[in-house]
Amino acid sequence: MATGTEPPRQLTGVQDASRAAIAARHLRTDRWWLAPAATAAGLLAFIVYSTWRAFANADYYAAPYVSPFYSPCLAENCVPMKDGPNWEIFGSWWVLSPALLILVFPLGFRLTCYYYRKAYYRGFWASPPACAVAEPHAKYTGETRFPLIFQNMHRYFFYAAVPVAAILTYDTVLTFRNDQYEWGHMGLGTLIFLANSVLIWAYTLSCHSCRHIIGGRLRHFSKHPVRYRMWGWAGKLNSRHAQLAWASLVSVALCDLYVYLLATGAITDPRIF
C-alpha cells in the first residue's frame, strides 16, 4: 500500500521500465518528409547545373557580363575580359576549366555553413530526416572524424568568401557598360547582377562565424559600441540566414544562366538606358 511518503526513485542508468516502449519510428501524422525531400531536390538541381557549367569551360563571358562561376579568372586559358579580374596565376599547363580554380572557395563556404549542414544532413543522409523522427543510422560520431571533421574549417572559408563577394561586386560595377565597354549604360543583366551581389553579401555577412568574429568574444559591449552595433546588425541578418542561403544560391545560378544565354545568342540583353 502506498503511504505517500515513499523515498524518491534512484537513477540507475537503466531505462525506467515505466516509460512507454514505442515500436514505431515516430508518431508524426504530418507529411514530415516533404521538407527534407524538397531540400534534397533543390540542392541536387544546383549541384547538377553548377557541375555542368563548371566543366563546360565555354560561354561564360558576354561583354560586359562574366559568369560568377568563372570570376576571378586565374588561368591563362581564360576568355579575355576587358577590365575584368583576370589574373593568370596558372599558366598554359592548366588545361581544365578555370572555374575549378575558384569554385572551391564559395563551395567550401557553403558546404561547411551551419544551415547547409542541417540541409544536406537531413536531405541526403537522414541525420535526422526531421524533428521527432529517429535516425536510421546505428552509430553517430558527429563531426569528430573524417570527412566531417573538415566542417570545422568554416571560419577559414569565411575569410575566402569575403574577397569573392568583393570581386563579384566589382563585376557588377563593370555591368554599367554596354557591349562596347562604354560607361553609363544599364541592361537587364545589370539588375540581375546587382541583386546577386546584394544577396551574396547578405548571406556572407549573416554567417554565424561572421557574427562571432564581430562580437562573439566581447565581454563588455559598453566598451565596444561600434562592434556591438555591428554585432546587432549581423544578428538580424543571421535570423534570416536560411532564406538568404537559398536566395543567393538561386541568384548566382541565375546570373550564370543569363550569361550563358547571352553568350550562346539565345537571348539579347534588353538595355534600360
pTM above threshold 0.95: no
The DSSP line for 90-111 is: E-TT--S-THHHHTHHHHHHHH
pLDDT-based confidence at residue 10 (cuts at 50, 70, 90): very low
Distance CA 264, CA 255 (A): 14
Residue 219 pLDDT: 79
Helical axes 241-263 vs 188-205, angle rounded to 10°: 150
More confident residue, 93 or 8: 93
Using DSSP, state whether 197 is helix, strand or coil.
Answer: helix
Which secondary structure element, helix H or strand E, spans residue 4, and what is its range?
A: none
Contacts of 168 (CB under 8 A, 6+ apart): 68, 71, 193, 196, 197, 200
Tell me the Cα Rg of the chain.
25
Residue 12 pLDDT: 43
Which secondary structure element, helix H or strand E, spans residue 62, and what is its range?
A: strand 61-62
Q: What is the 3-state secondary structure (H, E, C) of 27-52?
A: CCCCCCCHHHHHHHHHHHHHHHHHHH
Distance CA 100, CA 111 (A): 16
What are 31-79's pLDDT values in tens digits?
999 999 999 999 999 999 999 999 999 999 999 999 999 999 899 888 8
Residue 1 pLDDT: 46
Least confident of 67-71, 83-87, 209-213, 228-232: 83-87
More confident residue, 4 or 112: 112
For residue 64, which of 176, 202, 198 has the smallest C-alpha distance?
Answer: 176
Q: Please give the C-alpha separations between residue 225 and each of 202, 208, 211, 214, 235, in angstroms, as whole numbers.
A: 22, 20, 15, 12, 15
